[in-house]
Homo-oligomer: A and B are copies of this chain.
Amino acid sequence: MFQLLTTCGKARQGRLSTPHGDVETPMFMPIATKGAVKTLSSEDMRALGAQILLSNTYHLLLRPGLAAMERLGGLHRFMEWNGPILTDSGGYQVFSLARLNKTTEEGVLFQSHIDGSRILLTPELSMGMQRAIGSDIAMLFDDVAAGDSTRERYEQAMDRSLRWAARCRSAFDAGADAPASAVRRQLFGIVQGGVHEDLRARSADGLRSIGFDGYAIGGLSVGEPREDSYRIADFVCGRLPEDKPRYFMGGGMPEEIVHYVRSGVDLFDCVLPTRNARHGTLFVWNLDPEAWHPVREPEHADFYRRLHITNEACAFADEPVDSHCGCSACRTVSRAYLRHLFQSGELLGMRLATIHNLHFYLRLMECIRVDISPSA
């Protein structure tokens, strides 16, 4: 269930309702790949004000596995997170992580990157696993083409993904429980087709004719020039229904998120804030976010910078990472201390940096929402 509340140009402010609560959009989803946002607990995520987490079907299928997810009552209970969860279908991971993957019309046969066991991941198994996980928003299982594929390969993958989309829809609906509340679990489609507008159009139209609860833009932010990604995202948004949420998968840098919002995207996920944090790179405001209008002002990328905390310049810096930030790291420790933790290999450094970077991304989304709709 999605309510579009306000627009500002193509930018949209809305509310996505799930069995585990509402999500104010535009929103960023921190990534809990294996059932934990790296270095953080669910308590930390609540303290950060995260509204929805993303987890991965592929990783949870390999460990702890489908049987464990069922016996332990699903991922919400497992990781003690009572808010909404969206799950990737595994399509991208069998393509990027698994060994010896072989795609047939039935599904993808692959070897686990953990123990080498062979698993055939099909649209039906992906739906079954996402049901065992109890994800509030399941993603369809698609055939993923590499970022540098030929047009023929993109077309083949897109066509097969449409056939799999119908199988996902059937399997998802067959497995749907009688709704415990008015809000049911949802299934999102994924628009594919590389940087080819005609393929993207066929993908979007095909998915719409099957009918999904939301639509993702997949296969971008995979190495193509940024202008291509901007152009395709804008094009796809124009082909999608107004009344369903739009999710840009796997992107991006802060200025990219602002750009996609201005094209009409509602949901984001990305490893950048957490991965950068673990390498000691922190996002820092160049302006007072309270006084900033990311959607109404002309677009620019100068609103933030990246601080490498291990730089010598931080050695004696008795000041917080970011004077505009109210995260628990900036409220308590200095750059000098955080640098010391990284230099000394203390894991606390990664944890504090992760808290800061996620706070930055969530604050960015809040700035965006408030700029679109001052009452948001």
Contacts and interface: CB of A to CB of B under 8 A. Distances in A.
A36 B346 contact: yes
A64 B318 contact: no
B78 A348 contact: no
A41 interface: yes
A313 interface: no
A334 B40 CA distance: 16
Interface string A311-342: 00001101000000000100011101100110
A38 B71 contact: no
Nearest to A79: B337
Contact of A63 (B43, B59, B343): B343
Number of copies: 2
A277 to B, nearest CB: 12
B68 A315 contact: yes
A340 B63 contact: yes
Given A316-B71, A318-B73, A35 B337 contact: yes
A39 B344 CA distance: 12
Interface string A214-240: 000000000000000000000000000
Contact of A316 (B34, B68, B336): B68
A332 B79 CA distance: 8
A312 to B, nearest CB: 12
A344 B65 CA distance: 12
A339 to B, nearest CB: 8
A59 B341 CA distance: 12
Given A41-B352, A80-B332, A344 B71 contact: no
A72 interface: yes
A158 interface: no
A100 B341 CA distance: 27
A40 B41 CA distance: 12
20 contacts: A34-B340, A34-B344, A34-B346, A35-B344, A35-B346, A36-B344, A36-B346, A38-B347, A39-B348, A42-B332, A64-B315, A68-B315, A71-B318, A73-B318, A78-B334, A78-B336, A80-B332, A80-B337, A347-B347, A347-B350
